């Protein structure tokens, strides 16, 4: 009798998770492979291809140049040297 209870418990420990896994696998959707378009067309880079709104000029805007800006000098402008933690 004790042996049958152990076998039932062992079977439950093995069968229940396997049943859950099999059910989960059976109910999942298999994803389709992504479909790649046969040809990809890009927009043309000419500025005349895009219509301009009325009231604006058709000249293209200039892009920013690679200008190097120097760093500002480091200065100690802390006039409040009376606080806690000051070495003075």
- State yes or no: pLDDT of 72 exceeds 80: yes
Bin 84: left if φ > 0, else alpha if -120 < ψ < 50, else beta: beta
* DSSP code at position 15: H
User: What is the predicted pLDDT for the residue at 85?
Assistant: 60
- How far apart (Å, rounded) are the C-alpha atoms in residues 62 and 67? 14
Contact 50, 58 (CB under 8 A): no
- State yes or no: pLDDT of 12 exceeds 90: yes
Enter the tokens of residue 63.
Answer: 């892009």
Enter the tokens of residue 42.
Answer: 């890009």
Q: Quick one: average pLDDT of 36-46? A: 77
Place of tokens 């896994």: 21
């Amino acid at each position: 009798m004790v042996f049958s209870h152990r076998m039932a418990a062992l079977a439950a420990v093995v069968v229940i998770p396997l049943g859950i896994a099999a059910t989960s696998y059976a109910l999942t959707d298999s994803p389709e492979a992504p479909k790649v378009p046969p040809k990809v067309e890009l927009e043309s880079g000419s500025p005349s291809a895009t219509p301009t709104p009325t009231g604006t000029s058709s000249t293209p805007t200039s892009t920013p140049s690679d200008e190097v800006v120097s760093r500002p000098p480091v200065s100690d402008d802390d006039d409040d040297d009376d606080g806690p933690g000051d070495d003075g």
